[in-house]
Chains A and B, each alone.
Chain A
Amino acid sequence: MADLSINVRVEHDDFHLSINEKISLTGITGVFGHSGSGKSTLLKVIAGLEKHAQGKLVINDLLESDILLDSEAKIFIASQQRNIGLVFQNSRLFPHLSVEENLRYGQKRKKNIERNKPLDFTEIVALTKLDNLLSKSVAQLSGGEQQRVALARALLAEPRLLLLDEPLSALDDKNKSLMLTLLAKVQKQLNLPMLYVSHSLAEIQQLANNLLVLSSGKVTHYGDIHQVIHQLTTNNEILHQTSLSLTVKEHLAEYGLTSLALGDQQILMSLNQQIESDANTNTNVRCIIAASDISVTLHEPSESSIVNHLQGTITSFEPCQSQVLLTVNCSGQDFFVNITAWSAQRLSLIVDQKVFIQFKANSVRTLR
């Protein structure tokens, strides 16, 4: 399994980055942190755009280790020789070239000619839906189109690793959702490892399998996306939420709902056209439920407009100011529930108690 071993330091007057971590290069790894946490600097170090990085950076493949940086041995591989792609926050298209010429720029200069069979230009253009834009000038494109060109341009250079630096931050909600769907599809079809930097946990949750959390230039968490979000919630580092990856059971189009399987129980969410258009059931849906959107009852509510009620067991009870953060395990999945201390006392909730949690279909959120 390919991995990226990072042992680097960057020292600026007002900022220090110090990272020692081995990142598995499979699927999409999210890099989350607030502004100033060092996530963009880390990306620049990997890209070779940060000239002051000290330490060692190595890509380990099945067969070989490729040193990108070793400051002790005075090795610094230039960006253009690293064969790593980067999609920037601002698309950085070349203004003097047409869309097609922009796309061909990286393709003409690609490094791994001997390794794989080449990517088909028309296939990538079709995948990124740029067929009708090829002859246009870059200035004529909308923001969403520009980012799609930037993505296709990076893909056609056939990098071994694709870095994405807040690629959605300049887009509106509709284009964000289109781009997320596209990125998930690209990752699946090309099997290209990606590092996705964002200050939006919701974006990362939609795409990534692994999550790296940075704070003040240091790694605070690294691991499976749902587990790390679970940890962040229990540490009170983010708004309390439950991060889920569930399989679509069926679409109930007449009610505008989608049914997701959770063990022998089901969760209903608002029908989403992006997900419905994926057609095949067995599609995985990533969703988030805020802990404040879930409530607890002692008996199964039979006369309620709230569609989701799941049976579970309280596994943890954490008082938190005037609130209580409950962890309720339903069919093997932990749900975080925020209730007032008053309710907790009134229902006399305790660990190992059997309860029902309930939440509306609309509180099951997905960015797509």
Chain B
Amino acid sequence: MNSTHPDILALITTLKMAGITTIILMLIGTPLAWFLAKMKSRGKVFIEALVALPLVLPPTVLGFYLLLLFSPQYLPGQIWQETTGQQLAFSFSAIVIGSVLYSLPFVVQPLQKAFEQLGDDLLEAAAMLGASAFDRFFTIVLPITKASFITAASLGFAHTVGEFGVVLMIGGNIPGETRVLSIALFDHVEAFDYAQAHIISISLVVSSLVLLSLIYLLNRPNKSRPTKKNQTKSKRLS
């Protein structure tokens, strides 16, 4: 590990954090988005606001509260330490948990919107043809909202790569554990090593641009499909 360049190590840590975070986000975000899309009670607004909170809150606020919760003085940190034998604050697990909360709206919102647009019509039709809820999800929901799943995962991943405040507060700056690219960049700037800072910055700009272009490219053909269907529908009704 010592032979690796510290910035390469930071890159590997970043990709590992973003990758694991994205997987967890998809597993948590999908049912949460489904629940919100189907929910009709007034409590829905509150949960939606809670999910959207990281969009407006300074990341350092979230990081501050998480730092407190993760420390052994508080119950969550205590339970973690008792079950794993390690401290939660300033660990890789801590920055993954922080990232999951911080990037949650980027995954939940596109999925929720897609599920709302899909509606109940096709799902009812599938149920009447004998498909169970699980079956309906994989044969109707997933293929039709595929583009939104790709968007959600990509946005969640990209946003996690770009985060700084939360990681700094709860992860610190431990090479190979919590030192991610954005923090490495901050270190280089503080040390006036602008050449190295440029390398990290430019590669983040280029890779983010490529990723976002891919998302928009993937979304294009699928976005035109529902409109085409609506056109034929309105033609038929008129």
Contacts and interface: CB of A to CB of B under 8 A. Distances in A.
Interface string B118-151: 0001101111111110010001100110000000
Contact of A157 (B121, B129, B226, B233): B129
A253 interface: no
Contact of A92 (B121, B135, B144): B121
B236 interface: yes
Contacts of A138: 229
A79 B128 CA distance: 6
Interface in A128-147: 138-139, 141-143, 146
B222 to A, nearest CB: 9
B226 A109 contact: no
Given A90-B121, A92-B122, A139-B229, A47 B236 contact: no
With a 10 A CB-CB cut-off, give which of A85, A92, A154, A170 has the most chain B CB atoms: A92
A86 B126 contact: no
Contact of B130 (A47, A92, A93, A110): A110
A95 B223 CA distance: 13
B128 A84 contact: yes
A335 to B, nearest CB: 38
Contacts of B73: none
Contacts of B237: 170
A174 interface: no
Q: In the complex, which range does the number of interface residues on chain B fall in?
A: 20 to 34
Interface in B191-237: 225-226, 228-229, 232-233, 236-237
Contact of A109 (B125, B130, B140, B228): B130
Contacts of A84: 128
A197 to B, nearest CB: 14
B4 to A, nearest CB: 45
A106 B136 CA distance: 12
Contact of B236 (A80, A106, A154, A170): A170
B135 A79 contact: no
9 contacts: A80-B130, A81-B130, A86-B128, A92-B122, A94-B126, A109-B131, A110-B130, A111-B130, A138-B229
Given A141-B232, A143-B236, 18 more contacts: A78-B127, A80-B129, A80-B130, A86-B125, A88-B124, A92-B124, A94-B125, A94-B126, A94-B144, A96-B144, A105-B126, A105-B139, A109-B129, A109-B130, A139-B229, A146-B236, A153-B129, A154-B128
